Amino acid sequence: MIYGIFSDVHSNLHALEVVLNYFRKAGVKRYVFCGDIIGYGPKPNECIERISQLKNCCSVMGNHDATALGIADLSKFTGYAAYVIEHTKKILTAKSKYFLINLKQIETREKFTVVHGSCKDPLVEYLNTGEQFLDNLHFFKTQICFTGHTHIPLTFTRKGVQFPEVKLLTNNESIYIEKKSRYVLNPGSVGQPRDGNPCASCAIYDSAKNNFEIIRLDYPFQLTQKEMQKLKFPKFLIQRLEKGL
């Protein structure tokens, strides 16, 4: 089975459409979304609609999704992020809110677990280190856990009792999923990459070939920037899209 793995769209419709189009051409049959449809960007309702229409999509709630619904604490956000969340709250439709409120914080399937931050702390923890990975192994039972939140395409691997390997993956770089190892796999961010590469980031997971591959895709970020400018979003949020920071 070929899965399209993606996360952190952040209301960036142009990036999302490029990723979903790539998935269709790649023969994706099932989707895994690791949270944060909204926040930062200008098109929350449109992005929610696109993802809600996907068939066979396992989706979880992100911290921006939760904050827009009043489930998480807005005071923990930076001023820039809080500004856009307040804007988003005003324009979210009832249909969009209904979709978001019904997302779980953790989803478990036969072969994998899905969460936004970490299984230990789904909406808060940024999983960045081998020590954190080891600490989280007790909180999920599957071989693989797909996460987002950091906006960086990272993989965590533990073979036997060895200390985990943490690896940053670049475009078209992949790892082989070994049967006796355990993994946390992060596809990076569709709409808000932060690894110095402005291209939308996503991944293809081929469960038959046991392969997880990072894909980077050019998208017209200038169009997203123009939409943000019309809404008078902070310049920092607009400019960071072209730098991937």
- pLDDT digit string, tens, across residues 101-121: 999 999 999 999 999 999 999
* Rounded-to-integer distance, Cα 185 and Cα 5, Å: 9
3-class DSSP assignment, residue 136 = helix
pLDDT reported for residue 163? 83
Distance CA 3, CA 56 (A): 10
- CA–CA dist 4, 27 (Å, integer): 9
Q: What is the pLDDT of residue 109?
A: 94
Q: What residues of the chain score a pLDDT lower than 50?
A: none
Dist CA 61 CA 101 (whole Å)? 8
All structural domains of the chain: 2-240 (3.60.21.10)
The pLDDT assigned to 12 comes to 98
Residues contacting residue 212 through CB under 8 Å, at least 6 positions apart: 5, 155, 174, 175, 177, 183, 185, 203, 204, 205, 206
Task: Give the pLDDT of residue 147.
Answer: 98
